[in-house]
C-alpha cells in the first residue's frame, strides 16, 4: 500500500511562499489504477515528484514507497543516440545477466508492438511510437509502482485511444500500482478504477468508477461518471475555468 500522509509542498517564489500541495492524504492499494485529474498548475507534477522521491516534501510523508518505480513523462524523453532496444534497456540494472536483460527488452518491445523497430533510432519514430518506447522503458524493470505524468497529452486522438487500451492491458497483465496524471476528465474516467480530483494543490474529491475493463469510451455509464467528476471540479472556486 502506497500512502501519502499530510503531504505538502511549498515553493519559495522570490521570498513569497507558493503552496503547490496542501496536506494531501491518499492511500493507493497495491495493484490499483488511480487517475489524478485537475487543471494546469494544481500540483499534479509536484505530487508525482514527491512520490518518486525526486523532491522532499515541506511537510508530511510518503509511506510504502517501493524500490522499483517506473516514471513516464509527458514527452517520451528518449535518448536520440541510442537505438530503441538500447533505450528500453536503459533502466535495467547492470547487475542483471545479459540474457535476462535481452529477454526483458524483447518481451517489452513485443508487448508494445515495436519488435520490428528494435534497431531504429528515435528520430525514425512517430510520436505514438516514441511514447510506446517510453512506456516499455518504464515497465522493463518490472516496477511495483508506475507514475505517469500526462503521457498521452501531446498525441492525436486515435493514437491516444490505442495507447490507453494498451496501458490497461499491460496493467492487467502485470498489476503494478499505477498513478496516472491527466487534465482530461474523459481520460481519467476511462482509465481509473478511482479518480482523484485536485484543485489548487488540494485534494477535493475521489470518485470510484465501478465499470469493467476494457471500457468503451462511448458507454453512457462512463459519461455519467465523467459528469460527476467534472461537477465536483467545477464546484471548486479555484476551478471556474475548467472545461469538459
Ligand X SMILES: Nc1ncnc2c1ncn2[C@@H]1O[C@H](COP(=O)(O)OP(=O)(O)OP(=O)(O)O)[C@@H](O)[C@H]1O
Piece of the chain touching ligand X by CB under 6 A; list 43-51, 82-90, 106-114, 115-123: 43-51
How many helices and strands (H and E) does the chain possess? 7, 9
Among 40, 126, 169, 173, binds ligand X (CB under 6 A): 40
Peptide linkage before 13 cis (omega within 30 of 0): no
Residue 169 CB, nearest approach to ligand X (Å): 26
Residue 54: C-alpha distances to residues 12, 71, 91, 124 (Å): 18, 11, 16, 31
Please report whether residue 17 would count as binding ligand X according to CB under 6 A: no
Residue 19 CB, nearest approach to ligand X (Å): 8
Residue 108 CB, nearest approach to ligand X (Å): 27
Please report whether residue 46 would count as binding ligand X according to CB under 6 A: yes
Distance in angstroms between the alpha carbons of the first and the last residue of the chain: 32
Backbone angles phi, psi at 222, to 5 degrees: -65, -35
Please report whether residue 100 would count as binding ligand X according to CB under 6 A: no
Piece of the chain touching ligand X by CB under 6 A; list 10-18, 95-103, 157-165, 227-235: 10-18
Q: What is the DSSP letter of 216?
A: P
Among 41, 53, 66, 244, binds ligand X (CB under 6 A): 41
Please report whether residue 44 would count as binding ligand X according to CB under 6 A: yes
Please report whether residue 233 would count as binding ligand X according to CB under 6 A: no
Residue 242 CB, nearest approach to ligand X (Å): 12
Residue 103: C-alpha distances to residues 43, 82, 94, 116, 167 (Å): 38, 18, 14, 15, 20
CB atoms within 10 A of CB 80: 8
Piece of the chain touching ligand X by CB under 6 A; list 34-42, 113-121, 165-173, 210-218: 34-42
Residues in the chain: 244
Residue 147 CB, nearest approach to ligand X (Å): 12
Residue 203 CB, nearest approach to ligand X (Å): 13
Pairing of strands 194-199, 33-37: parallel
Interacting residues toward ligand X by CB under 6 A: 11, 13, 18, 20, 38, 40-46, 183
Amino acid at each position: 500500500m502506497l500512502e501519502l500522509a499530510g503531504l505538502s509542498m511549498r515553493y519559495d517564489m522570490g521570498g513569497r511562499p507558493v503552496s503547490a500541495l496542501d496536506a494531501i492524504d491518499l492511500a493507493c492499494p497495491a495493484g490499483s489504477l488511480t487517475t489524478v485529474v485537475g487543471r494546469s498548475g494544481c500540483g499534479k507534477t509536484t505530487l508525482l515528484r514527491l512520490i518518486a522521491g525526486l523532491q522532499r516534501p515541506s511537510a508530511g510523508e510518503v509511506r510504502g514507497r517501493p524500490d522499483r518505480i517506473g516514471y513516464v513523462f509527458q514527452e517520451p524523453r528518449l535518448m536520440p543516440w541510442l537505438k530503441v532496444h538500447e533505450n528500453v534497456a536503459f533502466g535495467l540494472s547492470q547487475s542483471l545477466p545479459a540474457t535476462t536483460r535481452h529477454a526483458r527488452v524483447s518481451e517489452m518491445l513485443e508487448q508494445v508492438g515495436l519488435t520490428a523497430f528494435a534497431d531504429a533510432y528515435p528520430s525514425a519514430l512517430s510520436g505514438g511510437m516514441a511514447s510506446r518506447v517510453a512506456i516499455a522503458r518504464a515497465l522493463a524493470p518490472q516496477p511495483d509502482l508506475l507514475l505517469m505524468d500526462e503521457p498521452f497529452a501531446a498525441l492525436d486522438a486515435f493514437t491516444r485511444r490505442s495507447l490507453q487500451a494498451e496501458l490497461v492491458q499491460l496493467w492487467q497483465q502485470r498489476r503494478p500500482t499505477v498513478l496516472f496524471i491527466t487534465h482530461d476528465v474523459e481520460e481519467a474516467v476511462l482509465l481509473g478504477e478511482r479518480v482523484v480530483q485536485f484543485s489548487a494543490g488540494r485534494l477535493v474529491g475521489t470518485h470510484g468508477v465501478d465499470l469493467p475493463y476494457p471500457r468503451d469510451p462511448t458507454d453512457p455509464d462512463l459519461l455519467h461518471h465523467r459528469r460527476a467528476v467534472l461537477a465536483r471540479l467545477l464546484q471548486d472556486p479555484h476551478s471556474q475555468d475548467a472545461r469538459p
